């Protein structure tokens, strides 16, 4: 009620809501991180990805994705190639396949000597952050907030280097808020804000949940407002848990 009262008493553009906190979603965070990754490592990615993508637009489809799944579909193949390139010399030298620790140590040693190896290693590390972000959505019944915040802390330097000042502010504000939040506020964030539960019982980031819900309603009620559209929208919202899924978009 206080927000409504302020709306009535204040001029447009001068509204302020003390204590009101807005939250960003994990899906758009993942997408922004993937784009930052593409910007930071554009030189090596354009070289590797161009091996199977023969135009600038096709390369940018991977390096600067509009959906994280564009990266996730192809990343395992060429990241595995980097690890294999590090493991094969060790196998030839010692006569047996090295352990993951030995491969990592070898890559660290090479990175200290050769700048190109250091750049590739940094790229591989940033890809791990993307995987961890994706996992933070699916772990447990409502995702793993602790893992999500851990990834955000790792992403802060990446946002700084790529001059993503908007996400720098959003991330710092959220981390500060959560650090100072009461136990009740943390429970509300973890169980009501961070993720939503789909009709199939799966955990899904709230921003992606909202986009897919809107897409489902539009597929049912149409994109043009006509007489009776409001009733259609209400009916569509009521039937979401039981209606056969209609959305078959890039969001999966």
Q: Positive or negative, the Cα torsion across 172, 211, 124, 38?
A: negative
Distance between CA atoms of 203 and 134, rounded to whole angstroms?
A: 11
Residue 114: inside a domain: yes
Q: How much is the pLDDT for 146?
A: 95
Strand partners, 198: none
Is residue 222 domain-shared with residue 170, that is, in the same domain? no
How many structural domains is the chain composed of? 2
Same domain, 109 and 225: no
Query: What pLDDT does 241 receive?
Result: 63
- Has residue 3 been placed in a domain? no
Q: Evaluate if residue 166 carries a pLDDT over 80.
A: yes
Shared-domain flag, residues 210 and 234: yes
**12 assigned to some structural domain:** no
Does any domain span residue 11?
A: no
- Structure token digits, residue 135: 């996992």
70 pLDDT tier (thresholds 50, 70, 90): confident
69 and 182 housed in the same domain: yes
pLDDT-wise least confident of 20-29, 51-60, 184-193, 242-251: 242-251
Is the pLDDT confidence value at 179 over 70?
A: yes
Q: Is residue 245 in a domain?
A: no
- 131 and 209 belong to one structural domain: no
Domain boundary pick from 154, 172, 191: 191
- Asked whether residue 61 falls in the same domain as residue 90, the answer is yes
One domain, residues 219 and 186: no
Judged by DSSP in three states, 233 sits in helix
Residue 134 lies in domain: 26-191
203: part of which helix (H) or strand (E)? strand 203-205
DSSP string, 29-74: HHHHHHHHHHHHTHHHHHHHHTTT--SHHHHHHHHS-SSTHHHHTT
Nearest to 208 by CA among 198, 219, 218: 198
49 plus 131 within the same structural domain: yes
- Give tens-digit pLDDT for 115-138: 999 999 999 999 999 999 999 999
pLDDT in the model for residue 10: 54
The two tokens of residue 104 are 């990592």
Give the C-alpha separation, 194 to 144, whole Å.
9
CA 140 to CA 203: how far, in whole Å? 8
> How far is residue 49's CA from residue 159's CA, in Å, rounded to a whole number?
23
Q: 222 and 127, same structural domain?
A: no
Q: Is 83 a member of any domain?
A: yes
Residues 219 and 100 in one domain: no
Structure tokens at 225: 């407002």
200-213 tens-digit pLDDT: 888 999 999 888 88
Based on the fold, state whether residues 186 and 208 are members of the same structural domain: no
Is 4 a residue whose pLDDT tops 90?
no
Asked if residue 230 and residue 129 are part of one domain, the reply reads: no
Please tell me the predicted confidence (pLDDT) of residue 181: 92
Q: Is residue 132 part of a domain?
A: yes
Is residue 15 in a domain? no
């Amino acid at each position: 009620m206080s927000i409504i009262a302020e709306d009535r008493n204040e001029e447009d553009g001068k509204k302020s809501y003390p204590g009101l906190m807005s939250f960003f979603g994990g899906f758009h965070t993942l997408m922004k991180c993937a784009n930052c990754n593409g910007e930071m490592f554009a030189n090596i990615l354009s070289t590797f990805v161009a091996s199977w993508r023969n135009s600038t637009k096709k390369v940018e489809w991977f390096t600067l994705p509009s959906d994280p799944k564009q990266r996730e579909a192809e990343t395992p193949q060429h990241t595995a190639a980097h690890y294999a390139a590090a493991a094969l010399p060790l196998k030839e030298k010692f006569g047996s396949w090295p352990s993951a620790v030995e491969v990592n140590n070898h890559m660290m040693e090479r990175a200290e000597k050769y700048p190109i190896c250091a750049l590739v290693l940094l790229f591989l590390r940033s890809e791990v952050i993307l995987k961890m972000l994706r996992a933070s959505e699916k772990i447990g019944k409502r995702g793993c907030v602790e893992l999500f915040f851990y990834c955000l802390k790792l992403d802060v330097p990446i946002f700084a280097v790529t001059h993503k000042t908007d996400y720098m502010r959003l991330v710092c504000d959220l981390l500060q808020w959560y650090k100072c939040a009461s136990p009740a506020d943390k429970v509300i964030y973890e169980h009501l804000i961070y993720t939503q539960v789909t009709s199939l019982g799966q955990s899904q980031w709230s921003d992606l949940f909202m986009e897919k819900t809107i897409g489902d309603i539009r597929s049912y009620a149409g994109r043009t407002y006509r007489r009776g559209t409001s009733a259609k929208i209400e009916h569509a919202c009521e039937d979401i848990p039981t209606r056969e899924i209609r959305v078959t978009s890039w969001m999966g």
